[in-house]
Structure 1
Amino acid sequence: MGMNCKPKCWKVVILVLAGIAALGWVVMALWNWLLPNLFFGVREIDYWQAMGVLLLSKILFGGFRGHCGGHRKWHQHRLESMTPEEREKFKSGMRGWCGKPGQDEAESKE
């Protein structure tokens, strides 16, 4: 993220971080509510231990591939089904969303 990132980008970053923090709290609350009562010898955990459990489950069950693989194929199919004009409009809109403005925005500022 550069200095020219729009405020919209920062809102997304803040929302993602808040979502991760909330997810950690949910893991902690569910663990402390369920596991000590269901299994003998399981203790309650604190927030940072819950974040560790969350990270460990991501490593074991989700890997580090992310979710882009399936979405990338869907986006590629969607781009191929667009007309050249629609495709160019979409690409210029994406360039202007975060980072360098698209050609249309740069020309309108002059």
Structure 2
Amino acid sequence: MKTSYRRRRFFFPLVMVLALLVVSFAVFWLWNNVLVAVIAVRSVTYWQAMGLLILARILLGGFRFNPSAARPPYGGGAPAWREKFRQMNDEDRQKFRSEWKKRCSDKP
């Protein structure tokens, strides 16, 4: 167990650097092969593409490395009222529905 943690701890930075290099190459290639042909922009070097990638990540996404960053905002999942409605008994549900209809009706 301890050796796998050490192995992951060693390889994680290497994988992150490798991913940065690969994604930077993708940005470099796409910029020079697509944007130069479509709109009037200059081609960029590999290091400029990496800088653009890092700048876009800072401005648009930030650097969040925790798994909670992938969750939808406000906790995700079903709204709180849905769980409350599920836990009501039949009498409370009927009372809730009639009150809701009374509030939402067009009659004054």
Give TM-score, length-normalised by structure 2. 0.54
- The answer to whether residue 35 in structure 2 is matched with residue 30 in structure 1 is no
Higher relative contact order (CA 8 A, sep 6+): 1
Structure 1 residue runs of 4 or more that deviate by more than 2 Å after TM superposition: 67-73
Once residues 54 and 70 of structure 2 are traced to their aligned partners in structure 1, the CA distance between those partners, rounded to angstroms, is: 24
Q: Paired residues, what number?
A: 69
Give unpaired runs (5+ residues) of structure 1: 74-110
State the one-letter code of the partner of 2:66: C
2:66 matched residue in structure 1: 68
Tell me the SS of whatever aligns to 1:43: coil
- Matched residue, 1:11: 11
Distance 1:54 1:72, change over 3 A: closer
- Offset of residue 60 of structure 1: 1.5
Paired amino acid for 2:18: A
Any gaps of 5 or more consecutive residues in structure 2? 72-108
Secondary structure, aligned partner of 1:53 = helix
Larger Rg: 2
How far, CA to CA, are the matches of 1:27 and 1:60 in structure 2? 16
Letter in structure 2 aligned against 1:7: R
The corresponding residue for 1:52 is: 51
The normalised TM-score by structure 1 is: 0.53
Q: Could you tell me how far 1:25 is from its partner in structure 2?
A: 0.5
CA RMSD of aligned residues (A): 2.7
Partner secondary structure for residue 43 of structure 2 = coil
